[in-house]
A = this chain, B = another copy of it.
Amino acid sequence: MLNGRLKCSGIKKGKNGVGIAVIEGRIFAVYTKNRIRSASITFNLRNLGEKVRGIIVNSGNANAFTGKAGLRNAERIAGFLAKKLGCDISEIAIASTGVIGMQLDVDEIERLADEAFRNLGEGEESIKSFARSIMTTDSFPKISRRVFDGIEILGIAKGAGMISPNMATMLAFIFTNARVEGMDRIFREAVDISFNRLIVDGDMSTNDTVFLVTTEEVETDSEKFSKNLKSLMLELAEMIARDGEGATKVFWVKVEGARSNSDARKVARAVAGSNLVKTAMFGGDPNFGRIVCAAGYSGAEVDEDLTIKIKSKKGEVFVVERGNVREENLGKAREVMEAEKVEIEINLHKGDGESYAIGCDLTFDYVELNSKYTT
Most buried by B among A34, A35, A288, A363: A35
Chain B residue nearest to A371 in the complex (CB):
B283
Residues of B within 8 A of A287 (CB): 373-375
Residues of B within 8 A of A373 (CB): 280, 283, 285, 287
CB distance B370 to A324 under 8 Å? no
A358-369 contact mask (Cβ, 8 Å, vs B): 1 or 0: 000011101110
Interface assignment of A129: CB less than 8 Å from any CB of chain B: no
Q: Which of A49-57, A73-81, A175-183, A290-298 binds B?
A: A290-298
Q: Which of A12-20, A111-119, A199-207, A219-227 binds B?
A: A199-207
Interface assignment of A325: CB less than 8 Å from any CB of chain B: yes
* A:81-105 near B, CB below 8 Å: 99-102
CB distance A304 to B274 under 8 Å? no
Interface assignment of A190: CB less than 8 Å from any CB of chain B: no
Interface assignment of A302: CB less than 8 Å from any CB of chain B: yes
Chain B residue nearest to A70 in the complex (CB):
B304
CB distance B296 to A206 under 8 Å? yes
> CB < 8 Å: which of B36, B100, B370 contacts A283?
B370
Number of copies: 2
Chain B residue nearest to A303 in the complex (CB):
B35
Chain B residue nearest to A275 in the complex (CB):
B201
Q: Which of A60-68, A151-159, A229-237 binds B?
A: A60-68
Interface assignment of A330: CB less than 8 Å from any CB of chain B: yes
Residues of B within 8 A of A144 (CB): none
Residues of B within 8 A of A293 (CB): 34, 36, 64, 100, 162, 203-206
Most buried by B among A36, A201, A374: A36
Interface assignment of A372: CB less than 8 Å from any CB of chain B: yes
Interface assignment of A161: CB less than 8 Å from any CB of chain B: yes
Most buried by B among A204, A279, A325: A279
CB distance B203 to A99 under 8 Å? no
CB distance A36 to B302 under 8 Å? yes
Interface assignment of A332: CB less than 8 Å from any CB of chain B: no
CA distance A117 to B62 in the complex (A): 62
Chain B residue nearest to A36 in the complex (CB):
B296
Known contacts A285-B374, A295-B36, A304-B36; is-contact A67 B279 (Cβ 8 Å): no
CB distance A325 to B288 under 8 Å? no
CB distance from A160 to the nearest CB of B (A): 12
17 A-B residue pairs with Cβ-Cβ distance under 8 Å, sorted by A, are: A34-B296, A34-B297, A35-B296, A35-B300, A36-B295, A36-B302, A65-B288, A100-B289, A101-B325, A201-B275, A202-B202, A203-B275, A203-B294, A204-B293, A285-B371, A285-B373, A364-B368
The 9 closest A-B pairs by CB, nearest first: A100-B289, A283-B371, A36-B296, A279-B370, A34-B296, A204-B297, A201-B275, A35-B296, A101-B289
11 more A-B residue pairs beyond the given contacts A36-B292, A102-B327, A286-B375, with a C-beta to C-beta distance below 8 A? A34-B297, A35-B295, A36-B304, A64-B289, A67-B324, A101-B325, A161-B276, A206-B296, A279-B371, A363-B367, A364-B367
